[in-house]
Structure 1
Amino acid sequence: MRQVGSVLWPRLQVLQVYGANTGVGKTIFSSILCRVFQRHFPKVYYLKPVSTGPQEEADDRHISTLSQNIKAKCLYQFSDPVSPHIAARSSKESVTDESIRATVHDELNSYATDENGIAIVETAGGVMSPAPSGNSQADLYRPFRLPVLLVGDHQLGGISTTISAWESLHVRGYDVQSVALFSESRYDNHSYLKDYFAERDVHAFSVPPPPERHSNGAEDARAMQEYYEEAASSSSVVTFSSQLLQNHDKRIADLQSMSAEAVEAIWHPFMQHSERSKDTITAIDSAYGDYFATHTTQQALIVSQNPTTSLIKPAFDASASWWTQGLGHGNPRLALTAAHAAGRYGHVMFASAVHEPALRLAQTLLTNMGNPRLAKVFYTDNGSAGMEVAVKMGIRAAAARNGWSADDDIVILGLKGSYHGDTMGTMDCSEPSIYNKKEPWYTGRGHWLDFPQVKMRKGRWVVESPDELNNSLEGEKTFDSLDDIFDFQKRTDDYAAYKQHCDATLAELIEKGTKFGALVMEPILLGAGGMMFADPLFQRCLVDSVRHHASLAIEMQPQHDGSLDWTGMPVICDEIFTGLYRLGRFSASSFLGVDADIVANAKLLTGGVLPLCTTTASQAIFDAFVSEDKTDALLHGHSYTAHPVGCSAANESLRSMMKMEREGVWDGFKGHWSSSDNSLTLSSPDRQAGGAWSMWSEAFIKAVSHRSQVDSVFALGSVLAITLKDPDGKSYASKAAYEMRDKLLAGAPGEEWVIHSRVLGNVWYAMAAMTTTRETIESLEEKIFAALE
């Protein structure tokens, strides 16, 4: 699949000319700039991607009359003088956004010769005028993120039009180099706009308007040539052209120095800095859709050998930027939503107050999680903090009901390899690991059970049990499909063995006097611990054991409905990573047929725009904190609790993904799975139906599972995880996946785009955004499979 994105050639400068409206003089300014650029560059190019109207009146024909040294071209010319989206209807050719971008990219790339040159790319109409597809031009060309000259409107009402056009570009991440317009004296728009944009560090300039049209064509042409020459020599235009050249050089210099400067100034997360250098740091210029616009030391070396190559290369964001991306980078709807909330609220305190975005988000979560237990939403600003709150809620509720004091040693029950955050409290909720065991304050307050894992190995789905379960389950069991693993009614023998094991373990621990404050687990997929796919039936059994174990039974408090109240111990589901469609469903817990007492959500919550976390609890958990004594309250909060901008982005993110599910956007992916149209057999009749499926095809993961260096593989929802064999038997401390990571980032010679990824020891993983297309996934599968050869 073709992927074009941000470009930056060392010997070709590109300027995109946008207009605040139609008829503001874009082509006249382009003509002036072509004239002045001839003085600096041996080659000047003018490109009009889309034009409407008669061929003899086309802008590129006018530009070509200025000089033989200016090469002018139009890519898509529609004869009907109407908006491009209307003109394109009568065209026999399918003109998509993708085809326009690919054609523009190829044309510009052909200009990046050994000689220095400059290209002007002039748009049609105004900033938000429709492209042939009907999408706005601002969104059509955004992946390139070319520097922009905005031609302002000098006419009555033009101040408002110009400012609105600039804001539309600015909020989409464009760099508007300058604003230019005619110095029409009647309305004096140029004077106001110069001052307005100066306060925003945007250069604005003006030139006199062109002369009145002559009835004689030759006289008119001569007058315009004189006008262009005079305007091109004006101090304002010369200053602009000089700044443009300087900005291009500065952008290159900044991009090339960022990695080295980062080594001096930044302490990176999750990195051993003895292994860090400027050569291991990727500079990200921008991002759009599924891709980063990246610059690396290797790319700089390639460019030094071939100056016609772009300094920036698209790199698929295979970690979904640490699992946060749901609707793609630079999503205009999310950007506009966040901008609106920033303008309406900024941030407002949330103590004893409420605002609409937070209220609507809470209501959306409670309505769509499909969990009747959940009743109250608590806001924090990141996943680790949200899990801190969840554990506080669970342990305090258990202590209150059991009559435990603050002096009692209360622990949590969890799974081995779990990870719930890096704050001090959440670290104690995980067993000793590479993440926490060297921290002096870490105590590891819990008991962690080993668990069976789901894997594909040599083309077969297997459930691999740990040693402590092998006596009853005979080690590894095979299944015909992923749905068969989730079909709990057919796995009664497995359920009985799991239940017996969980019951016996709990009985032994309780007999020793262990006080459990909560069961804390990541449903289905344990992420940071190594992308481990837990057998959902085991997690279901564990919840059943916790809730119905005789040794944990305590008489209910009379004010609670027993069907919705917790028993045994509160069940906390950490859906920071797995929730909100990451695994293909709104709620990851629904795969288990389990209604948790507390659920934490983040990551996909805001579509990657802002940090935000919600911890949603049952009424029974909430009531445990209610009394006449303030010290009994949940005294936890953040300055940015329920940030209105984050809540607004979350509302838009959830609304978009729920719409995608409703409209069957992912049905094409489901069709690549053997039985994805079958409903899962779960105990609760109101669970979210639908078989297990992935955006990664089953045929692909089967093929990967047969590669000699692959131990196992799995895919679910947008997640793909490949466990590579490590000769030393290491897991997270392994470097087995480094070679694959580096190979995919380097790419093959001449590749248009590469893959930027993270690894977890010997596990190489990737995940798509929920908007990633099937065509993109297929291209990724080809690259990944090739990297395993």
Structure 2
Amino acid sequence: MSLLFKNLRIHQILGSNTNVGKTIFATALARASAARNTPVYYLKPVSTGGLEDADHGHVMRYVESGTVHADCLFQYDEPVSPHLAAKLKIANKTLDQIPSDHTIVDSIAGCIRKYAETSQRYSHVYLETAGGVHSPTLSGTSQADCYRPLFLPTILIGDSNLGGISSTISSYESLLLRGYIIDAILLFREDYYRNWEYLDQYFAEKGIHVSTIDPPPPRLSDPAADHQSTQNYYNNLNAADTGITGVIDHLNGCHDKRIEELASMPKRTLDTIWWPFVQHGLAKTEKDVTVIDSAHSDFFSVYQPTEKADQPSSLLIPEFDGSASWWTQTVGHAHPSLTLAAARASGRYGHVMFPQAVHLPALNLAERLVRNGPGKGWASRAFFSDNGSTGIEVALKMALRAYATRNNVKDTDAKHLGVIGLAGSYHGDTIGAMNACGDEGVYSCEWHDAKGFWFDPPTVGISDGKPRITLTPALRNLVGESSTPAPSLSWIYDIEARLQTPLAAKYSSYIQKALGQLEREGHKFGALILEPLVMGAGGMVFVDPLFQRILVDVIRGQPASGKYANWSGLPVIFDEVFVGLYRLGMESAAPLLGVYPDISVYAKILTGGLLPLAATLASEPIFQAFWSDNKGAALLHGHSYTAHAVGCEVANEASKLIDTLKTGEEWKNAQESWSDGESRSNVWSLWEPGFIHEISKLKNVDEAMTLGTLLVIRLKSGSDLGYISMAALSMFARLKDRQDMCNFDSAAPGGASFTTHYRTLGNVAYFMTSLNTRPSLIRAMEKKIRDILKEA
């Protein structure tokens, strides 16, 4: 959670190595600030070594009394690395547990907020870290990662010793990779190695301010003499034109410029940007613009100035990313492992041509997806493209060509082949993906030419605390009832058991009758395309999985055998761009449905949400439809950035992180909470079952539903406006209101209260977490949502 105050200029001091003079520079800066009659706060989060040598004590000794307030949050006696100092206290049984990174960040944020509240006028804060950029914190995490949620502007202290040029540049790049704002690089003006000379030129080319001061005198054995010598050194720094005064001016300017830029962004945005999926006529004021200054983990850091000038509130507030950034976030924003993976591939490859070539990131990813991932047991090939929509375009080409080739369909007739799908489905915004959806949706354009037939499917939800299957009008006439109660969610998703029920026979009869009528009318189809389990943009509709399973069986003309075989009937496409790769708690819906597709598409979570990339997986029989010695028979489709090495490497790294989460305690606990007490449920959610059942009973809720990271609340609404309804948007408007923020057990980083960024689909509100969102944060969101629904 980034903190930014008008009345408080904050800078974090990091060192490019140990013993580079962080405390000397912190003291010099504090003295220079105090010399301007500016109140100064000095904060040392973690200190090791005796109190007589503590850095905050040094600052207090050499800055004029009464002009600086110094704090140290965690003090350890042993003069060793913080992680070792903490371990020694555990071993000595003088410490019960090692403070977590969360605890450190919360403590720092609390101190800074206290400074802002107590400061009567414009003040400076200097936060001095320990050791070098990657020195470990108490928990062993790199400082660069531990302090990143605070996102404080940084002063990097360069290394003036032998080898210091390299360590300074390496430290700068480490901070840059983590998104830090580096306002200045300071180092001693040492005239033997003259590192400052090289670094001044190196960083000037990058627009980074570099300044130097003379190094301090050698330490003297006599304490009184040493104190006087050091005092004289600081006095001379202030008296002479050493550049430290210019540093203060520069840092003040950086602070002011950042605030001015944030304040100007809403108007500049309204003047130049055309947003996707936004009616600009309804978002035309500066307050309608969400200015994101940074993002980390599950939170945006959003610019939102207080309307009361006398309130020392942060101009930046944490805002929970309640839609997982359009369903992409996997392990949170700015995850260092993904960033480093991107840098690794960018540095090694940049972008390289892919046709008839290969590089290791793409090959590793293809093998993982096909052999050990969602394609295991049925797929033989992976085709890479740019995003979910283009991945669907590829899938449609594959399926239609395979069908036309096998059935000797003439080219003129092949152009009129349609698809079979579900009403309300959405497969992307490119023209071909649009054409694979019906006319009832709003995601279309003037060239939209719906080609196919779309079944209106039965749906699943929890209403009044009970799971139910809601039937469509056509099925109601066949079954004789509008909805069917279910004993549990796990029963609904136990497809093999439900295949023997009367409802399964009704579904099969209904589908066969409809397809027979279409055939008699002369309709020709070349593929079946489904969003398994949940139709996303079409309204977050949870489809009865039994209906989808039987639809596949009928299309293929045979029940599933449990193993993949050569396709029959029509090729089956699973659009798992949204639902795949554990968004719903499972890697793919295929094992749950009990049928494998012939083609499937993955994106979004594929790269952990960091980069656009899609993979279209295909079975060997589909691939063989394009095999020929005639080039014209090939799959002549591609994109300039096909198999982008950076995206592929990030995807490989994301899959490793997900593998760790799959066996972690938090997923295990969530799965057990959804079990029936005897066996683990085949479906589960990070949202608590008690919460779901409770809100489903509220008078303004039609039904609630959840799987994996997804929560969907369908509101009762008197209008039938569908997507353009404002019901859900209005209901949850309080989530965006700064004045309505509440503190929920320090759920946000820094222990702060937070707002929530959310998206709606008409009368449907949905919320989505990352795969690793902390349970305490999800509980906080549940309380917010519950309170709003109860008070409405």
Equivalent of residue 350 in structure 1, options 327, 334, 354: 354
Moved more, 110-119 or 570-579: 110-119
1:177 aligned partner: 183
Is the CA contact (8 Å cut-off) linking 1:580 and 1:588 kept in structure 2?
A: no
2:95 aligned partner: 92
Distance of 2:495 and 2:554 partners within structure 1? 16
2:709 is aligned with 1:701: no
Distance of 2:676 and 2:241 partners within structure 1? 70
Is the CA contact (8 Å cut-off) linking 1:412 and 1:516 kept in structure 2?
A: yes
Shift in Å at residue 223 of structure 1? 2.1
Q: Secondary structure at the match of 1:49?
A: strand
Equivalent of residue 721 in structure 1, options 712, 721, 746: 712
1:291 aligned partner: 299
Q: Secondary structure at the match of 2:35?
A: coil
Distance of 1:571 and 1:283 partners within structure 2? 42
Equivalent of residue 435 in structure 1, options 436, 439, 442: 442
1:655 aligned partner: 656
Shift in Å at residue 234 of structure 1? 3.0
2:68 is aligned with 1:67: no
Q: Secondary structure at the match of 1:713?
A: strand
Q: Secondary structure at the match of 2:293?
A: strand
Distance of 1:436 and 1:605 partners within structure 2? 24
Equivalent of residue 419 in structure 1, options 416, 422, 426: 426
Amino acid at match of 2:294: S
Q: Secondary structure at the match of 1:732?
A: helix
Amino acid at match of 1:351: P
1:314 aligned partner: 318
Is the CA contact (8 Å cut-off) linking 1:320 and 1:767 kept in structure 2?
A: yes
Provide the TM-score with structure 2 as the length reference. Answer: 0.94
Amino acid at match of 1:35: R
Aligned in 2, Cα 1:714/1:313: closer, same or farther, shift over 3 Å? same
Provide the TM-score with structure 1 as the length reference. Answer: 0.94
Moved more, 194-203 or 242-251: 194-203
2:244 is aligned with 1:247: no
Is the CA contact (8 Å cut-off) linking 1:373 and 1:565 kept in structure 2?
A: no
Amino acid at match of 1:293: S
1:38 aligned partner: 34
Moved more, 662-671 or 631-640: 662-671
Amino acid at match of 2:50: P
Amino acid at match of 1:331: H
Aligned in 2, Cα 1:489/1:646: closer, same or farther, shift over 3 Å? closer
**C-alpha deviations, 1:114-144, integer Å up to 9, x for none?**
4111110000011101100111111111001
1:396 aligned partner: 401
Aligned in 2, Cα 1:708/1:133: closer, same or farther, shift over 3 Å? same
Amino acid at match of 1:516: F
Equivalent of residue 744 in structure 1, options 735, 740, 747: 735
| 1:252-651 correspondence runs (5 A) | 252-277=259-284, 278-295=286-303, 299-302=304-307, 304-366=308-370, 367-369=372-374, 371-408=376-413, 409-437=416-444, 439-473=445-479, 474-491=481-498, 492-548=501-557, 564-651=565-652
2:683 aligned partner: 692
Distance of 1:229 and 1:749 partners within structure 2? 50
2:77 is aligned with 1:79: yes
Distance of 1:165 and 1:244 partners within structure 2? 20
1:555 aligned partner: none
Aligned in 2, Cα 1:628/1:750: closer, same or farther, shift over 3 Å? closer
2:202 is aligned with 1:196: yes
Shift in Å at residue 748 of structure 1? 4.8
Q: Secondary structure at the match of 1:377?
A: strand
Q: Secondary structure at the match of 1:38?
A: helix
Output the aligned Cα RMSD. Answer: 1.7
1:11 aligned partner: 7
**C-alpha deviations, 1:387-407, integer Å up to 9, x for none?**
011011101111111111232
Is the CA contact (8 Å cut-off) linking 1:747 and 1:755 kept in structure 2?
A: no
Aligned in 2, Cα 1:320/1:563: closer, same or farther, shift over 3 Å? closer
Is the CA contact (8 Å cut-off) linking 2:385 and 2:613 kept in structure 1?
A: yes
Is the CA contact (8 Å cut-off) linking 2:188 and 2:213 kept in structure 1?
A: yes
Distance of 1:283 and 1:600 partners within structure 2? 33
Amino-acid identity (%): 43
- Number of equivalenced pairs: 760
Distance of 2:594 and 2:679 partners within structure 1? 16
1:221 aligned partner: 227
Is the CA contact (8 Å cut-off) linking 2:377 and 2:564 kept in structure 1?
A: no
Aligned in 2, Cα 1:413/1:580: closer, same or farther, shift over 3 Å? same
Moved more, 224-233 or 123-132: 224-233
Is the CA contact (8 Å cut-off) linking 1:145 and 1:174 kept in structure 2?
A: yes
Moved more, 196-205 or 768-777: 196-205
Aligned in 2, Cα 1:221/1:643: closer, same or farther, shift over 3 Å? same
Shift in Å at residue 87 of structure 1? 1.1
Distance of 2:35 and 2:389 partners within structure 1? 58
Distance of 1:710 and 1:156 partners within structure 2? 68
Q: Secondary structure at the match of 2:75?
A: strand
Distance of 1:427 and 1:216 partners within structure 2? 82
Amino acid at match of 2:721: K
Shift in Å at residue 635 of structure 1? 0.8
Aligned in 2, Cα 1:224/1:749: closer, same or farther, shift over 3 Å? farther
**C-alpha deviations, 1:652-678, integer Å up to 9, x for none?**
001110222134540111122143873
1:110 aligned partner: 114
**C-alpha deviations, 1:27-69, integer Å up to 9, x for none?**
0000100011113353101000000000111111111112211
Mark the runs of 5 or more structure 2 residues left unpaired by the alignment.
Answer: 743-752
**C-alpha deviations, 1:308-327, integer Å up to 9, x for none?**
10000001101100000001
| 1:124-143 correspondence runs (5 A) | 124-143=130-149
**C-alpha deviations, 1:84-115, integer Å up to 9, x for none?**
11111215253111111111111111111341
Is the CA contact (8 Å cut-off) linking 1:210 and 1:224 kept in structure 2?
A: yes
2:52 is aligned with 1:47: no
Aligned in 2, Cα 1:153/1:128: closer, same or farther, shift over 3 Å? same
Distance of 1:167 and 1:227 partners within structure 2? 32
Q: Secondary structure at the match of 2:643?
A: coil
Is the CA contact (8 Å cut-off) linking 1:741 and 1:758 kept in structure 2?
A: no
Distance of 1:216 and 1:436 partners within structure 2? 79
Aligned in 2, Cα 1:677/1:311: closer, same or farther, shift over 3 Å? farther
Shift in Å at residue 163 of structure 1? 1.1
Is the CA contact (8 Å cut-off) linking 1:41 and 1:118 kept in structure 2?
A: no
Distance of 1:522 and 1:306 partners within structure 2? 52
Moved more, 225-234 or 586-595: 225-234
Shift in Å at residue 235 of structure 1? 4.7
Shift in Å at residue 288 of structure 1? 0.3
**C-alpha deviations, 1:339-363, integer Å up to 9, x for none?**
1111011111101100000000011
Is the CA contact (8 Å cut-off) linking 2:582 and 2:588 kept in structure 1?
A: yes
Distance of 1:591 and 1:306 partners within structure 2? 58
